[in-house]
Amino acid sequence: EPEVTQTPSHQVTQMGQEVILRCVPISNHLYFYWYRQILGQKVEFLVSFYNNEISEKSEIFDDQFSVERPDGSNFTLKIRSTKLEDSAMYFCASSLRDTYEQYFGPGTRLTVT
Amino acid sequence: RKEVEQDPGPFNVPEGATVAFNCTYSNSASQSFFWYRQDCRKEPKLLMSVYSSGNEDGRFTAQLNRASQYISLLIRDSKLSDSATYLCVVNRDDKIIFGKGTRLHILP
């Protein structure tokens, strides 16, 4: 069964450093998403991406964040200058259509020290 | 009012019992609705989509009432493996909103 994959599973970085989180969505899916979940809190929408551009983003997704689909398979989330409060689990998801079911990757745990 | 609200939980129920989860959403323009489950420190996994006509998948039944902006999930004959957090998810204009989730503990 096709699945969304994410790397790395755990990333530790120092405050102020840039990080890139990587995702490989399901191959025939067209819509891609990033979410975050701070420990003990709810899953929060960050951004959706379709046709090589951002289609929707939340208030959390400020200028420190960017997304890219550098080739036909990868979808990345970059945080330019990490803060302590960026420590969270980051999930990538993909779907065939914008209102269809989304399938989530296993997540990257980001720890900012 | 929060955009998606769920029962705070946790629910502690004996194995074999029937469990009902409730969810309300505030934006009437919401377009699609889902239930996900999330195990501790894992990713959300799709349980089922929710349709206006109601839908069933084995022991799971989901209902949607657009007039009341209310979604429900019923689990019959609960199993130990049903222990998880159940997340109500609403999609509007490609913006996806998760509820906080309701934690379910099935007791042997």
For residue A32, give the DSSP letter: E
Beta carbons of A50 and B94 less than 8 Å apart: yes
β partners of residue A50: A31, A53
What would the pLDDT profile of B20-48 be if each residue is shown by its tens digit?
Answer: 999 999 988 888 999 999 999 899 999 99
**Mean pLDDT of all residues belonging to chain B:** 93
- Selecting from B46, B91, B99 the residue whose C-beta is nearest the C-beta of A42 gives B99
Percentage of residues of chain B with pLDDT beyond 90: 81
For residue B23, give the DSSP letter: E
Chain B residues close to A94, C-beta within 8 Å? none
Q: What distance in Å separates the CA atoms of residue A101 and residue B89, rounded to the nearest whole number?
A: 10
- List Cβ neighbours of B63 (8 Å cut-off, separation of 6 or more): B50, B54, B71, B72, B74
- Selecting from A43, A56, A103 the residue whose C-beta is nearest the C-beta of B46 gives A103
pLDDT in tens, chain A (113 residues): 789 999 999 999 999 999 999 999 999 999 999 999 999 999 999 999 999 999 999 999 999 999 999 887 899 999 999 999 999 999 999 999 877 889 999 999 999 99
Beta carbons of A56 and B94 less than 8 Å apart: yes
- Selecting from B43, B95, B97 the residue whose C-beta is nearest the C-beta of A107 gives B43
Beta carbons of A42 and B101 less than 8 Å apart: yes
pLDDT at B93 over 80: no
Residue with tokens 């799971």: B60
pLDDT at B63 over 90: yes
- Predicted local confidence at residue B26, as pLDDT: 92
